[in-house]
Amino acid sequence: MRKLFSGAVALATAATAMVALTGTAEAKPAADWAGCPAGAVCIYPQNQDPAQSPSNIYWTYGPHNLSNQVGWHWVLNNQTGGASAELCLNYGGTNCNYTMGAQNGVWADLSPVNSIKLNRP
């Protein structure tokens, strides 16, 4: 009887350890979107439709000045946690005229756009 009880305890302990290792739900990061990594804002080459591989990737909050971005481009906001991105007419992230929420994108003429601003949620 003692062997049977010891075996049952060992089995229960092993089962508990297995549940502890595999039974917990892990938070998974957001997925890449059209080559834009999770947590980033991406600009794609001019006239690339559908968006395939970004030419510019931005990771940090705040303004980012653009150069040589004219014509129509996909801009994807693949940031997480509700962070937004804005297209701005002036350098330094001022005079912004379009806001994208997280996991949103826009097909935009970047000729008049001189900066993009990533905003904290």
The DSSP-derived string for 1-62 is -HHHHHHHHHHHHHHHHHHHHHSSPPPPPPPPBTTBPTT-EEE--TT-SS--S-SEEE-SSE
pLDDT at residue 35, rounded to an integer: 95
First to last CA, the chain: 61
Residue 48: which residues within 8 A CB-CB, separation 6 or more? 73, 74
* Yes or no: domain 41-119 corresponds to CATH 2.60.20: yes
pLDDT at residue 30, rounded to an integer: 67
* pLDDT tens per residue, range 22-36: 333 334 456 899 999
Reading the block at residue 3, the tokens are 């062997």
pLDDT at residue 50, rounded to an integer: 86
pLDDT at residue 82, rounded to an integer: 95
For 46-58, letters b (16+ CB in 10 Å) and e give bebeebeebebeb
Which one, of 5, 113, 108, 103, lies nearest residue 49 by Cα? 108
- The stretches in the chain having pLDDT less than 70 are 1-30
Contact 110, 71 (CB under 8 A): yes
pLDDT at residue 16, rounded to an integer: 39
Reading the block at residue 43, the tokens are 């600009």
